[in-house]
């Protein structure tokens, strides 16, 4: 079987870094700016950036409807930071008129950690990445930039990582998976660590879905 191509939504934000990470693990990639760019893809990454700007541009160029349809039909998508916000069903502190894609049955607090002065790097434990580590390690160095966090998840949503140092003490959720939808509040694409990209590539391979022209046309 021919290997899947993973698209990266390239309306705004850190899409170049995701493309580089995918290339580093030998995955074919494509920038997605218009609906036709979706056709044939096996998965899509929604990068970090400004969720308001990305959402508005997606709506303006007819991408929002096909993305909403794909997110609800088992198509693999991974959102980092702004992408996590866009994939969430419910978001607090949402700017007026901010479009969302939805699909992940989670409740997200936008800019949970505060402004830039509160942005940070830290070590997380992500057991789901252990199979992708040479030594079976779960530790992952994570970069959080004006980051959101997941306040609650519905049943059927797997929590992949919590941040223990969060003020709540119990640990706030920062990475989740629901079927083929993956979301991280932090930015694996800003580091050299490609384990999350390999984890997502596995979800894409397992889903065996391809965007066909009909889905794109029907949603438009």
Partner 1 sequence: MTATGTFTVKSGLAEMLKGGVIMDVTNAEQAKIAEEAGAVAVMALERVPADIRAQGGVARMSAPEKIVEIMETVTIPVMAKARIGHFVEAQILEALGVDYVDESEVLTPADEAYHINKWDFEIPFVCGARNLGEALRRIGEGAAMIRTKGEAGTGNVVEAVRHARAVLGEIRRLQNMPPEEWMSYAKEIGAPYALVKMVAEAGRLPVVNFAAGGIATPADAAMMMQLGLDGVFVGSGIFKSGNPAVRAKAIVQAVTHYDEPKILAEVSKNLGEAMVGINIDEIPPEQLLAQRGW
Query: Percentage helix, strand, coil, to 5, in the chain?
Result: 30, 30, 40
Please return the burial class of 1, using the count of CB atoms within 10 Å of its CB with bins 0-12, 13-18 and 19+.
Answer: exposed
**Please, are residues 80 and 49 in contact by the beta-carbon 8 Å criterion?**
no
Catalytic residue status for 93: no
Report the residue number, 97 or 214, with the smaller CB distance to partner 1. 97
Place of tokens 């223990």: 164
Q: Which of 150, 139, 151 lies closest to 191, judged by CA?
A: 139
DSSP 21: H
Pick 16 or 72: Cβ nearer partner 1: 16
C-alpha 79/C-alpha 102 separation (Å) is 11
- Distance CA(215)–CA(184), nearest Å, equals 27
What character string, x for contact with partner 1 (CB under 8 A) and - otherwise, covers 65-104?
----------------xx----------x-x-x-------
CA angle in degrees (0–180, nearest 5) for 203-206-211: 85
Q: 124: helix, coil or strand?
A: strand
Q: Which positions from 39 to 58 touch partner 1 by CB under 8 A, shown as an x/- string? A: ---------xxx-xx--xx-
Q: Which of 81, 93, 141, 158 is catalytic?
A: 81
For residue 189, give the DSSP letter: G
Site string for partner 1, 22-41 (x = CB under 8 A): -----------x--------
Asked if 121 interacts with partner 1 (CB under 8 A), we say: yes
Tokens of 163: 């941040």
Tell me if residue 72 is catalytic: no
Least Å from the CB of residue 129 to partner 1? 18
| Known catalytic membership, residue 18 | no
Among the residue ranges 21-29, 112-120, 130-138, 199-207, the one whose residues contact partner 1 (CB under 8 A): 112-120
Mark the segment that binds partner 1 (CB under 8 A) among 5-13, 126-134, 167-175, 196-204: 5-13
**How many residues interact with partner 1 (rule CB under 8 A)?**
41
Q: In the complex, what is the shortest distance from the CB of residue 180 to partner 1, in angstroms, rounded to a whole number?
A: 25
Answer yes or no: are the C-beta atoms of 12 and 49 closer than 8 Å: yes
Q: Does 158 bind partner 1 (CB under 8 A)?
A: no
Among all residues, which ones are annotated catalytic? Answer: 81, 187, 189
Q: Which residues are at the interface with partner 1 (CB under 8 A)?
A: 10-17, 33, 48-50, 52-53, 56-57, 60-61, 81-82, 93, 95, 97, 110-111, 115-123, 143-146, 165, 187, 190
């Amino acid at each position: 079987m021919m290997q899947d191509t993973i698209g990266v939504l390239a309306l705004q934000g850190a899409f170049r870094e995701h493309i580089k990470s995918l290339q580093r693990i030998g995955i074919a990639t494509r920038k997605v700016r218009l609906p036709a760019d979706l056709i044939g893809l096996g998965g899509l990454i929604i990068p970090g950036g400004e969720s308001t700007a990305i959402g508005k541009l997606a709506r303006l160029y007819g991408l929002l409807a096909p993305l909403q349809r794909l997110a609800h039909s088992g198509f693999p998508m991974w959102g980092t930071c702004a992408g996590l916000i866009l994939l969430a069903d419910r978001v607090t502190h949402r700017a007026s008129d901010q479009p969302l894609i939805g699909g992940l049955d989670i409740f997200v607090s936008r800019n949970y950690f505060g402004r830039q002065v509160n942005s940070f790097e830290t070590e997380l434990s992500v057991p789901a990445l252990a199979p992708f580590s040479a030594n079976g390690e779960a530790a992952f160095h994570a970069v959080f930039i004006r980051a959101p966090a997941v306040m609650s998840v519905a049943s059927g949503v797997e929590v992949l990582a919590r941040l223990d140092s969060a003020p709540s003490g119990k640990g706030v959720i920062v990475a989740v998976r629901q079927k083929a939808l993956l979301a991280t509040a932090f930015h694996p694409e800003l580091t050299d660590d490609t384990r999350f990209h390999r984890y997502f590539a596995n979800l894409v391979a397992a889903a065996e879905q391809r965007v066909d022209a009909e889905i794109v046309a029907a949603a438009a």
